[in-house]
């Protein structure tokens, strides 16, 4: 449910984004008429082929990653996707575009999307829930192996959700989608203003040079990151990604400075911390 709400808290499409989305829809024949106004939300089933996901031989020219351009790509049951399919996501996640080769032709398409994924803690889904989990050590190891590696290294935020109890349904919501969208939009505006000279519009698209310039840490923040690196909680790649997330958390609080607490919050959201044992596996 959270994943499906994400598109609703993102800012509306800019004119440039709308033109890009419309162009893609015109390739696939999905054009509804006029300029696209809705941010794409794609949720392919885990049985999808690599070609279906990224385009190319056996699939269409335009895969799900291109259809999700400027929007959200949601992978439910992440551990059920095949390893080669997940590996194929690395190029678009890294470059924001995908090269498709089919027969004697090749083409490059834009594929910049927000990746959102969900997975059970174990194959049966009950791990951590008393005695109910029936998975063997082998099942658990296989499950963790499928989730580990280079793809997870590119995931910025991991959140654990408890099995929903009946009481949750009556709890007072912490925020509404509308309020969340206002905060996200304000944070995005701060980012695009700051990054104007760098030629990108949001924190997620900063390269290392921009990160070091715009997400400068104070001595306390530096020490916190250093400790996480030394204890193996953070990888070298993760170090830069944590800076980006800390920058965004500061933006959500309208803070021009990246504060120590923003770094702490970003570290707590890392996959290494969130998916216990996945790195060791
Ligand atoms: Zn289980």
Ligand 1 centre and the CA of 127: distance in Å?
Answer: 5
245, pLDDT greater than 90: yes
Domain boundaries, the chain: 2-118, 177-268
Enter the pTM of the model.
Answer: 0.88
Phi, psi of 224 (to 5 degrees): -65, -45
Tokens of residue 91, six digits: 């190029």
Ligand 1 centre and the CA of 144: distance in Å?
Answer: 12
Ligand 1 centre and the CA of 57: distance in Å?
Answer: 37
Supply the pLDDT for residue 167: 55
Ligand 1 centre and the CA of 81: distance in Å?
Answer: 18
Q: How many CA atoms lie within 13 A of 73 on its CB side?
A: 23
Tokens of residue 175, six digits: 């925020």
Average pLDDT over residues 16-45: 90
Ligand 1 centre and the CA of 121: distance in Å?
Answer: 7
Judge contact between 267 and 273, C-beta under 8 A. yes
| pLDDT tens readout for residues 162-217 | 766 555 566 666 778 889 999 999 999 999 999 999 999 899 999 999 999 999 99
Ligand 1 centre and the CA of 148: distance in Å?
Answer: 18
Ligand 1 centre and the CA of 164: distance in Å?
Answer: 17
Ligand 1 centre and the CA of 124: distance in Å?
Answer: 4
Q: What is the distance between the alpha carbons of residues 118 and 70, in angstroms, rounded to a whole number?
A: 20
According to the CATH classification, is domain 2-118 in 3.90.1150.10?
no
Supply the pLDDT for residue 48: 94
Q: What angle do CA 106, 108, 113 make, to 5 degrees?
A: 140
Task: Look at 110 and 127; give whichever has higher pLDDT.
Answer: 110
Ligand 1 centre and the CA of 83: distance in Å?
Answer: 21
Ligand 1 centre and the CA of 123: distance in Å?
Answer: 5
């Amino acid at each position: 449910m959270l994943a499906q709400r994400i598109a609703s808290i993102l800012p509306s499409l800019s004119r440039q984004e709308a033109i890009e989305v419309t162009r893609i829809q015109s390739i696939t024949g999905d054009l509804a008429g006029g300029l696209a106004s809705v941010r794409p939300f794609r949720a392919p089933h885990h049985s999808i082929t690599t070609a279906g996901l990224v385009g190319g031989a056996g699939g269409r020219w335009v895969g799900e990653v291109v259809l999700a351009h400027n929007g959200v790509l949601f992978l439910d049951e992440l551990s059920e996707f095949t390893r080669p399919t997940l590996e194929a996501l690395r190029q678009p996640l890294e470059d924001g575009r995908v090269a498709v080769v089919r027969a004697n032709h090749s083409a490059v398409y834009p594929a910049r999307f927000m990746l959102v994924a969900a997975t059970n803690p174990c194959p049966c889904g009950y791990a951590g829930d008393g005695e109910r989990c029936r998975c063997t050590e082998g099942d658990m190891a296989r499950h963790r192996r499928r989730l580990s590696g280079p793809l997870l290294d590119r995931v910025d935020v991991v959140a654990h959700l408890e099995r929903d109890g009946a009481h949750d349904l009556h709890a007072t919501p912490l925020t509404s989608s509308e309020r969340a969208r206002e905060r996200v939009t304000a944070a995005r505006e701060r980012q695009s203003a700051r990054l104007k000279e760098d030629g990108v519009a949001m924190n997620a698209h900063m390269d290392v040079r921009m990160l070091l310039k715009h997400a400068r840490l104070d001595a306390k923040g530096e020490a916190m990151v250093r400790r996480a690196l030394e204890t193996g909680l953070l990888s070298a790649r993760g170090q830069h990604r944590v800076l980006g997330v800390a920058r965004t958390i500061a933006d959500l609080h309208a803070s021009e400075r990246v504060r120590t607490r923003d770094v702490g919050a970003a570290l707590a959201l890392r996959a290494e911390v969130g998916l216990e044992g996945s790195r060791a596996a």
